[in-house]
Amino acid sequence: MIIYFVLLSKLYGAHGTFYFTSHSSGEHIICLESNSTQFVSFGGSKLRIHLDIRVGEHDLDAAIVQAKDKVNEVTFKLQHLIEQMEQILKEQDYQRDREENFRITSEDTNRNVLWWAFAQILIFISVGIFQMKHLKDFFIAKKLV
């Protein structure tokens, strides 16, 4: 049982050229068909087909090689841009982590400063109360009050 696949179907005007490379090995069948009726109505008209079949690996035309070089160059530049974008994203993630750590450290420091300020206030109030009581006791002992 043979299964046929249409791998290439193109419409051309009076002249046309195409290149086709098969990516699978094995037997290949080529079928050419003209859907033009002008060749049938005029007996003197000729349909000329030049078929060049290359089997195996061959060098491509210079234009195709140049086009592939341009594609490879564009692909390289695109890959380079993608790598730069990934590096920028990594740098942004790193900066976000640093910013988060800095924010946490700042909040902890602010909290500690606030508690230290409350502790100082309590110490100053208690020292003030102690000094007033001691001074009052001193004045009472000296009988100045």
**Residue 133 domain-assigned (yes or no):** yes
Q: Is residue 109 part of a domain?
A: yes
DSSP-derived secondary structure for the chain: ------------SS--------SS-S----------SHHHH-TT-----------S--PPPHHHHHHHHHHHHHHHHHHHHHHHHHHHHHHHHHHHHHHHHHHHHHHHHHHHHHHHHHHHHHHHHHHHHHHHHHHHHHHHHHT--
Are the C-beta atoms of 49 and 32 separated by less than 8 Å? Answer: yes
Mean pLDDT of the chain: 80
pLDDT for res 59: 57
Residue 92 has pLDDT above 80, yes or no: yes
**Residue at 90 is within a domain:** yes
Task: Please report whether residue 29 resides in a domain.
Answer: no
Predicted pLDDT at 71? 82
105 located within any domain? yes
Q: At 142, which amino acid appears?
A: K
Which pLDDT score, from 0 to 100, does residue 111 have?
Answer: 96
Please compute the mean of the pLDDT values over residues 81-109 and round it to a whole number: 95
Question: Over the Cα atoms of the chain, what is R_g?
Answer: 45
Does a structural domain hold residue 25? no
Domain extent, residue 126, equals: 38-142
Q: Give the confidence band of 69 by pLDDT, cuts at 50, 70, 90.
A: confident
Number of domains comprising the chain: 1
- Place 51 in a pLDDT band, splitting at 50, 70 and 90: confident
Judge whether residue 19 has pLDDT over 60. Answer: yes
Q: What is the pTM of this model?
A: 0.41
User: Does residue 17 sit within a domain?
Assistant: no
Whether the predicted pLDDT of 11 surpasses 70: no
Which residue shows structure tokens 């909290």?
A: 111
Mean pLDDT of 63-84: 84
> Does any domain span residue 24?
no
